[in-house]
Amino acid sequence: MSESAASSEFEAAFHKAAERHERVWVFVAILMLTLLLAGTMFIVVYAYGVVVRTDGFRRDPAAIEAPEGSIEKTGPNAYTVTMVARLWRWSPSPLRIPKGATVTFRVTSADVLHGFAIQGTTVNVTAVPGITGSVSYTFNRPGTFNIVCNEYCGLEHQGMLGRIVVEGDPA
Ligand code: CUA
């Protein structure tokens, strides 16, 4: 066998093996990415509950039950607040609640997309016309919290502010 024939035979075998390894590892990489994505989604949705639960789809935005929002006491220190976004304000605002209150915000919009974010908390829900998003938060320290709109909504977007006043224990 000549030297060049041996080397080309070796090359052919090498390429065959390399291609097999390449296919296997591309498959392994895709599998790992798929598992990583699925695992992340699972943890985010089920362990942390970071998902906007919608309790109604495609209602007429004009048909909001409480156009100026509402606050309802649902437990010893629990409230359900319907928070309505519109160009360019939040209702109800200022919202007064006692320290330690657990508030379930039902967030919707009367016109266009807005973003409901409470500074200094983890609350951040998009206010979508016709859809009600739901998020709960417990206010453990007294003080004033700003509601900001974090979804561009036109001319006065940056001025679309609201306030939540968490009142301390009565002395
Ligand atoms: Cu509302 Cu930006």
Model's pTM, two decimal places? Answer: 0.63
Q: Which atom of ligand 1 is nearest to the CA of 114?
A: 1
Record: fold of 53-167: Immunoglobulin-like (2.60.40)
- pLDDT, tens only, 135-168: 999 999 999 999 999 999 988 999 999 999 999 8
Domain ranges of the chain: 1-51, 53-167
Asked whether residue 171 carries a pLDDT value surpassing 50, the answer given is no
Ligand 1 lining (C-beta closer than 6 Å): 85, 88, 114, 149, 151-153, 157, 160
- Examine the pLDDT at 111 and tell me if it is beyond 90: no
- List pLDDT tens digits, range 6-58: 788 999 999 999 999 999 999 999 999 999 999 998 887 777 766 555 555 45
Ligand 1 atom 1 nearest Cα: 114
The Å distance, Cα 131 to ligand 1 centre, comes to 16
Measured CA to CA in angstroms, residue 52 lies from 49, 56, 63, 126 at distances of 9, 12, 21, 9
CA of 116 to the centre of ligand 1 (A): 8
